[in-house]
Amino acid sequence: MLRYKNALELYEEVLKQKKTDNNKIYSLHEPDVYCISKGKDHKKYEFGSKVSILVTKDSGIIVGALSLDTNLYDGHTLPQALQQYETLMNKRPGEVIADRGYKGRKFIEQTIISIPTNGRKSLSANEKRNIRDKFRRRASIEPVSWTFKI
């Protein structure tokens, strides 16, 4: 009986939970999974765990990876990721290029947070092109599929 104690407790917790409860268990074989609201019409929710991955701008080398225990707003995950980067690389990045999920803060200590905007009409064509190229490089990491061998 002691051998199955943890599994039985998990089953009991699943049976007791209600639709309106917080911190529900969505998967018996992966109880740390939670519901992530996407805010999009075609796919309102995803189930999984949130991770934060830091990649260099030019070479695409992963310089930080952080698995998060809770479903935090993206902007609140950045200080932890920057702390990990600073620990691993012994320096603080000058600029972080992020997507619109990180809006709200312009700086974290000395690090500038750049997110795409609709742009200003007062910029020259060259300035607009440079800004667009910077954020296109950021967007190019989205479709990359990562394979890890353990």
DSSP assignment letter at 145: P
Judge whether residue 139 has pLDDT over 70: no
Q: What integer is the mean pLDDT of 6-33?
A: 88
The domains of the chain are located at 2-48, 51-139
Q: Is the pLDDT of residue 144 over 70?
A: no
* The residue count for the chain: 150
pLDDT tens digits along 84-100 = 988 988 988 888 888 77
Pairing of strands 34-37, 45-48: antiparallel
pLDDT, mean of residues 22-35: 85
| Closest to 142 measured CA to CA, from 67, 53, 59 | 53
Q: What amino acid is encoded at 20 in this protein?
A: T
